[in-house]
């Protein structure tokens, strides 16, 4: 429960926004993740930077402005099926009206231990409470240091689509935006504190699909999400909800290297089925 | 008005080594602070995460919360007890084990042609009413007003007066509207007593409104159960023995719900034995939750019945028909009315969809149909009182100190008065929800509001009608027995008629006041509600996804007063039951006992996208022995059979025995794997 007053900057362009971020401000777009994190004291900030006026919004050819909402992507014919479907199956209509694609890629983990501020490894502690504790929603891959599962549906779709991320500082493949947290660095993205995601470049695909398993029909983070994209005789697969970051598979056989916890073995079974179905769908 | 915030234990089991309210009292905007020495609801030895330890009242909610954070407190945490079986073994029970026996179960099991045995589990689920628990308490001299979200304004009044040691007429309780209770709002609650004490100390009104997280830690739950059940039957389908051992994970406080109830009451089985253990654990206290015990017990019993039907190679509906209970065998008395066989008959067309539905299975999606029967109370009882006031304008006000908890009580009471007075519904207004502005009325719990309050209103309206006729007879010089009320008029047998308002207008400013009370329930009879639900599901056997596609609900609740409101109740019960069946569970950290699902992203209530087609059929035959109304309650019956009907449909679709709620992906995939292994072993032994 944060006590202090917050200042709010409303930069009109990216240069101004970058300066405000360099001064220690925290970027705010739709606020669907940041506001609860501030409320719960999981993110501390003295100033917020409303980047909505500075960020491009909308779809132009293969370029998607980072300020585009999930609802806009969900309703667009100009984005590949996998991305559209990933947006449609994410969150609730209200959240999709507010949440931006840029913010969605950068959202914090839903791990309940992290959200309840247990002194876990991501919070600087020396134990992953989920590994020993209740972890039915947690990771089956890359889960040695931290067993949290990345919650973004669109991130898996964009990873399979081999999207390029344009930031205020550089261009990089979406896969390079993410990193597994470790002892020396608890962050799951490579983004610098004053760096903003500005846009995404998403090439067309011949076929693409996003399949999602969740605890109810809507408004639930993925237990397992699978995106498959077929382009130029090549098929790319990426998963959500199975690792601390969006996870690309070189092939379906890669799943056999999974390291599920006792309570997440079922996710591997679901992942196998959904990967097979996704590959069939784009073949 | 001041706002209260509560310091709660972060530990499941702890001792407060030291507590200093000083920093909180010194914080900006703080007007008062109380701790364990000031109020019995605050504790130095919290036994569950979220147990209240201290409370602060401040000018704003934010200042109150910050002041709570400033309280200096030293905790000594202890290892929590979380496993109910472990608690029972150690004798950590909240109450004496509840044992029941009729006939000779062991002998009947030994002589049975078929015996089935299984263990069922249900999870702890949370009420999550839209409106959280809250009260605003105001002292004016020595008089206290409590504005609160409650299912029972008179119960709150009396509990508060008793605790404070003041006469009941110094406490006024107001609840005009409220955002749901589901059983968890039947008492004042610690939050009300905190607000009362802080209001007394500060001399200002104090509001204590809990957050969603507090709601999910400390205001009650449906406790988890472990049910170890056996059933024996003769090859003709006669169930000869039912045996159940029930362990309930009650929590730090509360009560062991009567999970054995359906086993004792639902079937005409001569030999029944049950034992119920209420485990005391370092988890939040339970509270009544929409048919407590019977929801859980029906899941176990009705799944067991289907497993029995499969062994007997008997149609599940026929098995239930053959074991119909003609009498209440617990107290050996007749039911006041029972139309369960008619419910079964009307279930047939829904059940008959089974073959074509199963044939509709395609690819990994398997379809099936399941059913489950239901028994529950719902007869209500005395006392309840109502006044019906008819003004000189011919308009009517129903006044009673009851409450409408969102179930449509106001409409039902208006309908009853309008019918009795032969007036259009828009001439009747209902005033409830204020203990100072109406006579005593019963609790809105146990599906009792309509059967308890309705007859009192009907009697009051009849009394008013009688008085109108007396006046008309006098003023119009007609014999009273020649008069009746029809379509808003006083009608004479000689053909003349007068609008009611014309008769009333003769009185000037005078009013007619009809008084009514709820009479007794029939003696020597058991009043119960009955029903059956038929569920249709599709299961993706590769991913464990369960989709409930249709539920037909046929219930016998006596006379139906408001058909639209009644079908809404059925839909609400089924949707809530669907959540308990498929997605809702309070999850704990197994080491610390911390509640991991405090918010509504983690605790998964069903969404509108999860709601199946719901077909409601109500038998609508008034109970001839129950009051002048013949109506029973409907709040709880529809949630009772939903889980078992869905689980039985899943078995029908896939052959997998799901025995644990909620039926998450992992439970579904576990059951499918078990079924595959069983089939393989069977094929191996016969091949």
The pLDDT tens digits of the residues spanning B470-496 come to: 999 999 999 999 999 999 999 999 999
Query: Is A273 in Cβ contact with B607 (below 8 Å)?
Result: no
Asked if A12 and A101 sit in the same domain, the reply is: no
Chain A, nearest residue to B70 by Cα: A3
Q: ipTM for the complex?
A: 0.96
**A220: contact with B, CB 8 A cutoff:** yes
By Cβ distance, the residue of A213, A217, A223 closest to B609 is A217
Residue B162 dihedral angles phi and psi, to the nearest 5° = -65, -45
pLDDT of B279 strictly over 50: yes
Asked if A15 and A154 sit in the same domain, the reply is: no
By Cβ distance, the residue of B65, B543, B598 closest to A1 is B65
Asked if A68 and A35 sit in the same domain, the reply is: no
Q: Which domain holds residue A178?
A: 57-282
Asked if B577 and B482 sit in the same domain, the reply is: no
Asked if A38 and A102 sit in the same domain, the reply is: no
CB atoms within 10 A of CB B495: 6
Per CB-CB distance under 8 Å, the chain B contacts of A133 are: 589-591
Asked if B507 and B637 sit in the same domain, the reply is: no
Query: Is A263 in Cβ contact with B602 (below 8 Å)?
Result: no
Asked if A166 and A192 sit in the same domain, the reply is: yes
**A280: contact with B, CB 8 A cutoff:** no
Asked if A192 and A120 sit in the same domain, the reply is: yes
Asked if B51 and B167 sit in the same domain, the reply is: yes
Q: Would B171 be classed as within a structural domain?
A: yes
The residue-averaged pLDDT of B125-133 equals 98
Nearest chain B Cα distance for residue A12, angstroms: 32
Q: Among B199, B194, B192, B146, which residue's Cα sits nearest to residue B31?
A: B199
Per CB-CB distance under 8 Å, the chain A contacts of B217 are: none
Look at chain A and report how many structural domains it folds into.
2
CA dist A224 and A79 (Å) reads 22
Asked if A6 and A146 sit in the same domain, the reply is: no
Which residues on adjacent β-strands are paired with residue B556? B530
Asked if B430 and B537 sit in the same domain, the reply is: no
Total residue count of chain B as it appears in this document? 687
Asked if B546 and B627 sit in the same domain, the reply is: yes
CA dist B231 and B244 (Å) reads 9
The residue-averaged pLDDT of B374-386 equals 97
Helix, strand, coil percent content, chain B, rounded in steps of 5: 35, 30, 40
Asked if A215 and A263 sit in the same domain, the reply is: yes
Is there a catalytic annotation at residue B480?
no
Q: Among B175, B453, B520, B623, which residue's Cα sits nearest to residue B461?
A: B453
The residue-averaged pLDDT of B631-647 equals 98
Q: Among B347, B305, B337, B379, which residue's Cα sits nearest to residue B120?
A: B305
Per CB-CB distance under 8 Å, the chain A contacts of B62 are: 3
Query: Is A266 in Cβ contact with B666 (below 8 Å)?
Result: yes
CA dist A5 and A22 (Å) reads 20
CA B597 to chain centre: 22
Nearest chain A Cα distance for residue B50, angstroms: 13
DSSP state of A109: P
Query: Is A216 in Cβ contact with B601 (below 8 Å)?
Result: no
Q: Considering chain B, what percentage of its residues have pLDDT values greater than 70?
A: 100
Query: Is B610 in Cβ contact with A218 (below 8 Å)?
Result: yes
Asked if B65 and B211 sit in the same domain, the reply is: yes
Residue B261 dihedral angles phi and psi, to the nearest 5° = -50, -55
- The CA–CA distances, whole Å, from B9 to B14, B46, B504 equal 8, 6, 62
Nearest chain B Cα distance for residue A262, angstroms: 11
- Give the per-residue pLDDT at A1: 42
A interface mutation test: which of B597, B664, B666, B676 has the most A CBs within 10 A? Answer: B666
- Spatial neighbors of B284 by CB under 8 A, at least 6 apart, are B48, B49, B50, B217, B218, B219, B220, B221, B251, B252, B595
Asked if A256 and A227 sit in the same domain, the reply is: yes
> Residue A261's domain is classified under what CATH number?
3.30.465.10
- The CA–CA distances, whole Å, from B507 to B247, B486, B502, B512 equal 65, 20, 9, 9
CA dist B4 and B394 (Å) reads 46
**Boundary-marking domain end, from B168, B194, B218:** B218
Query: Is B607 in Cβ contact with A217 (below 8 Å)?
Result: yes
Q: Which of residues 598-617 of B touch A (CB under 8 A)?
A: 598, 601-602, 604, 606-610
Asked if B425 and B356 sit in the same domain, the reply is: no
Asked if B390 and B478 sit in the same domain, the reply is: yes
Look at chain B and report how many structural domains it folds into.
3
CB atoms within 10 A of CB B350: 23
**A110: contact with B, CB 8 A cutoff:** yes
**Helix B294-312 and helix B642-654, axial crossing angle in degrees, nearest 10:** 30
Residue of B140, B636, B666, B677 marked active site: B636
Per CB-CB distance under 8 Å, the chain A contacts of B543 are: 213, 269-270, 273-274
A interface mutation test: which of B123, B601, B671 has the most A CBs within 10 A? Answer: B601
Chain B, nearest residue to A265 by Cα: B666
Q: Tell me the torsion sign for CA atoms B147, B150, B154, B160.
A: negative
Asked if A131 and A34 sit in the same domain, the reply is: no
By Cβ distance, the residue of B606, B609, B665 closest to A270 is B665
Query: Is A269 in Cβ contact with B610 (below 8 Å)?
Result: no
Per CB-CB distance under 8 Å, the chain A contacts of B670 are: 266
Query: Is B665 in Cβ contact with A223 (below 8 Å)?
Result: yes
- Spatial neighbors of B408 by CB under 8 A, at least 6 apart, are B562, B565, B568, B569
Nearest chain B Cα distance for residue A92, angstroms: 10
**A213: contact with B, CB 8 A cutoff:** yes
Per CB-CB distance under 8 Å, the chain B contacts of A1 are: 65-66, 69
**B669: contact with A, CB 8 A cutoff:** yes
CB atoms within 10 A of CB B98: 16
Q: Which of residues 121-150 of A touch B (CB under 8 A)?
A: 129, 132-134, 136
**Boundary-marking domain end, from B218, B241, B265:** B218
**Boundary-marking domain end, from B218, B246, B266:** B218
Burial class of A49 by CB neighbour count within 10 A (0 to 12, 13 to 18, 19+): buried
Total residue count of chain A as it appears in this document? 283
Q: Would B629 be classed as within a structural domain?
A: yes
Asked if B551 and B571 sit in the same domain, the reply is: yes
Q: Would B209 be classed as within a structural domain?
A: yes
> Residue B21's domain is classified under what CATH number?
3.30.365.10
Dihedral, CA of residue A123, residue A126, residue A130 and residue A133, to nearest 10:
-130
> Residue A13's domain is classified under what CATH number?
3.30.43.10
Which residues on adjacent β-strands are paired with residue B365? B362, B540
Asked if B19 and B75 sit in the same domain, the reply is: yes
Residues of chain A with pLDDT under 70: 1-4
Q: Which domain holds residue B538?
A: 333-376+525-687
Nearest chain A Cα distance for residue B108, angstroms: 41
- Give the per-residue pLDDT at B510: 85
Query: Is A113 in Cβ contact with B606 (below 8 Å)?
Result: no
**A219: contact with B, CB 8 A cutoff:** yes
**B555: contact with A, CB 8 A cutoff:** no
Asked if A137 and A44 sit in the same domain, the reply is: no
By Cβ distance, the residue of B587, B665, B670 closest to A134 is B587
By Cβ distance, the residue of A134, A216, A217 closest to B590 is A134
- Give the per-residue pLDDT at A4: 63
Dihedral, CA of residue A265, residue A270, residue A271 and residue A273, to nearest 10:
140
The residue-averaged pLDDT of B430-451 equals 97
The residue-averaged pLDDT of B569-575 equals 98
B59-80 per-position pLDDT tens digit? 999 999 999 999 999 999 999 9
Query: Is A116 in Cβ contact with B610 (below 8 Å)?
Result: no
**B588: contact with A, CB 8 A cutoff:** yes
**B621: contact with A, CB 8 A cutoff:** no
Nearest chain B Cα distance for residue A283, angstroms: 19
Q: pLDDT-derived band of residue B684, with 50, 70 and 90 as boundaries?
A: confident
- Give the per-residue pLDDT at B265: 98
Asked if B548 and B503 sit in the same domain, the reply is: no
Burial class of A234 by CB neighbour count within 10 A (0 to 12, 13 to 18, 19+): exposed
The residue-averaged pLDDT of B293-322 equals 98
CA dist B633 and A205 (Å) reads 58
DSSP E strands in A91-223: the ranges are 164-167, 171-173, 197-201, 207-213
Task: Give the three-state DSSP class for B518.
Answer: coil
By Cβ distance, the residue of A1, A220, A269 closest to B604 is A220
- Give the per-residue pLDDT at B507: 84
DSSP state of A189: B
The residue-averaged pLDDT of B213-221 equals 97
Asked if B433 and B455 sit in the same domain, the reply is: yes
Averaged pLDDT score across all residues of chain B: 97
The residue-averaged pLDDT of B236-264 equals 98
The residue-averaged pLDDT of B449-455 equals 98
Q: Would B671 be classed as within a structural domain?
A: yes
Q: Would B307 be classed as within a structural domain?
A: no
Asked if A195 and A109 sit in the same domain, the reply is: yes
**B678: contact with A, CB 8 A cutoff:** no
Q: pLDDT-derived band of residue B687, with 50, 70 and 90 as boundaries?
A: low
Per CB-CB distance under 8 Å, the chain A contacts of B545 are: 213
Q: Among B331, B279, B335, B274, which residue's Cα sits nearest to residue B304?
A: B274
């Amino acid at each position: 429960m944060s006590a202090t007053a917050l200042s709010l900057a409303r930069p009109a362009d990216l240069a101004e926004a970058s300066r405000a971020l360099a001064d220690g401000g925290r970027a705010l777009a739709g606020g669907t993740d940041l506001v609860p994190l501030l409320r719960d004291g999981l993110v501390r900030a003295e100033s917020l930077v409303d980047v909505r006026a500075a960020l491009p919004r909308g779809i132009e050819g293969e370029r998607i402005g980072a300020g585009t909402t999930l609802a806009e992507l969900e309703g667009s014919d100009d984005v590949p099926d996998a991305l559209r479907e990933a947006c449609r199956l994410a969150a609730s209509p209200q959240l999709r009206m507010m949440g931006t694609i840029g913010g969605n890629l950068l959202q914090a983990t839903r791990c309940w231990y992290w959200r309840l501020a247990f002194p876990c490894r991501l919070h600087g502690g020396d134990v992953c409470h989920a590994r020993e504790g209740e972890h039915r929603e947690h990771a089956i891959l890359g889960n040695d240091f931290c067993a949290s599962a990345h919650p973004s549906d669109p991130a898996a779709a964009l990873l399979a689509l081999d999207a390029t991320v344009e930031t205020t500082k550089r261009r990089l493949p979406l896969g390079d935006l993410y990193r597994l947290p470790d002892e020396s660095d608890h962050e799951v993205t490579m983004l610098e504190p004053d760096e903003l995601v500005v846009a995404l470049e998403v090439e067309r695909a011949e076929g693409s699909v996003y399949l999602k398993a969740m605890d109810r029909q809507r408004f639930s983070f993925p237990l397992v999400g699978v995106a498959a994209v077929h382009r130029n005789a090549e098929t790319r697969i990426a998963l959500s909800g199975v690792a601390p970051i969006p996870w690309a598979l070189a092939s379906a056989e890669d799943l056999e290297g999974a390291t599920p916890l006792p309570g997440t073995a079922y996710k591997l079974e679901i992942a196998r089925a959904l990967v097979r179905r996704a590959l069939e769908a784009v073949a | 008005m001041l706002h209260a915030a509560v310091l709660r234990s972060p530990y499941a089991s702890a001792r407060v080594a030291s507590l200093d309210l000083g920093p909180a009292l010194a914080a900006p905007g703080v007007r008062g602070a109380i701790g364990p020495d000031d109020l019995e609801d605050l504790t130095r030895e919290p036994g569950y995460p979220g147990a209240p330890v201290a409370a602060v009242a401040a000018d704003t909610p934010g200042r109150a919360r910050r002041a709570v954070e400033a309280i200096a407190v030293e905790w000594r945490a202890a290892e929590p007890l979380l496993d109910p079986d472990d608690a029972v073994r150690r004798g950590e029970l909240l109450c004496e084990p509840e044992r029941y026996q009729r006939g000779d179960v062991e002998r009947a099991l030994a002589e049975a042609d078929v015996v089935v045995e299984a263990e069922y589990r249900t999870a702890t689920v949370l009420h999550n009413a839209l409106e959280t628990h809250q009260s605003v308490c105001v002292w004016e001299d020595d008089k206290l007003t409590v504005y609160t979200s409650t299912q029972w304004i008179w119960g709150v009044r009396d509990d508060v007066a008793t605790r404070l040691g003041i006469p009941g007429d110094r406490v006024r309780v107001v609840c005009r509207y409220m955002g749901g209770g589901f059983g968890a709002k039947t008492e004042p609650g610690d939050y009300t007593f905190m607000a009362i004490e802080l209001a007394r100390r500060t001399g200002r009104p104090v509001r204590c409104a809990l957050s969603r997280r507090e709601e999910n830690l400390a205001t009650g739950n449906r406790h988890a159960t472990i049910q170890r059940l056996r059933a024996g039957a003769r090859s003709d389908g006669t169930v000869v023995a039912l045996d159940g051992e029930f362990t309930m994970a009650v929590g730090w406080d509360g009560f062991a719900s009567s999970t054995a109830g359906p086993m004792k009451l639902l079937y005409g089985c001569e030999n029944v034995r049950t034992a119920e253990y209420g485990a005391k654990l370092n988890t939040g206290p339970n509270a009544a939750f929409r048919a407590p015990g019977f929801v859980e017990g029906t899941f176990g019993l009705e799944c067991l019945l289907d497993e029995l039907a499969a062994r007997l190679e008997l149609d599940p509906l026929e098995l239930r028909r053959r074991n119909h209970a003609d009498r209440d065998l617990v107290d050996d008395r007749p039911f006041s009315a029972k139309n369960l066989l008619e419910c079964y008959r009307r279930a047939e067309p829904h059940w008959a969809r089974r073959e074509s539905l199963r044939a509709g299975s395609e690819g990994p999606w398997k379809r099936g149909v399941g059913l489950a029967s239901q028994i529950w109370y719902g007869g209500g009882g005395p006392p309840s009182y109502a006044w019906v006031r008819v003004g000189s304008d011919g308009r009517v006000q129903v006044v009673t100190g009851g409450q409408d908890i969102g179930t449509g009580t106001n409409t039902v009471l208006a309908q009853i008065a309008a019918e009795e007075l032969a007036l259009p519904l828009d001439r009747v207004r209902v005033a409830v929800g204020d203990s100072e502005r109406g006579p005593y009325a019963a609790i809105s719990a146990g599906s009792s509001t309509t059967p308890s309050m309705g007859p009192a209103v009907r009697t009051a309206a009849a009394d008013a009608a009688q008085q109108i006729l007396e006046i008309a007879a006098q003023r119009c010089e007609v014999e009273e027995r020649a008069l009746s009320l029809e379509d808003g008029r006083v009608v004479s047998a000689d053909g003349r008629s007068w609008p009611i308002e014309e008769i009333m207008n003769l009185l000037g400013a005078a009013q007619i006041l009809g008084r009514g009370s709820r009479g007794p329930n029939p003696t020597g009879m058991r009043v119960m509600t009955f029903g059956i639900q038929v569920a249709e599901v599709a299961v993706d056997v590769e991913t464990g996804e369960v989709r409930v596609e249709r539920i037909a609900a046929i219930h016998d609740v006596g006379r139906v007063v408001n058909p639209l409101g009644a079908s809404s109740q059925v839909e609400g019960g089924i949707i809530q039951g669907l959540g308990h069946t498929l997605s809702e569970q309070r999850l704990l950290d197994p080491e610390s006992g911390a509640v991991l699902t405090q918010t509504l992203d983690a605790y998964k209530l069903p969404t509108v996208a999860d709601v199946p087609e719901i077909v409601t059929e109500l038998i609508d035959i008034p109970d001839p022995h129950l009051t002048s109304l013949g109506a029973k309650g409907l709040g709880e019956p529809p949630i009772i059979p939903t889980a078992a009907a869905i689980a039985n449909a899943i078995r029908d679709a896939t052959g997998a025995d799901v025995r644990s709620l909620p039926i998450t992906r992992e439970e579904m995939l576990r059951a499918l794997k078990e079924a595959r292994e069983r089939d393989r072993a069977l094929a191996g032994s016969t091949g």
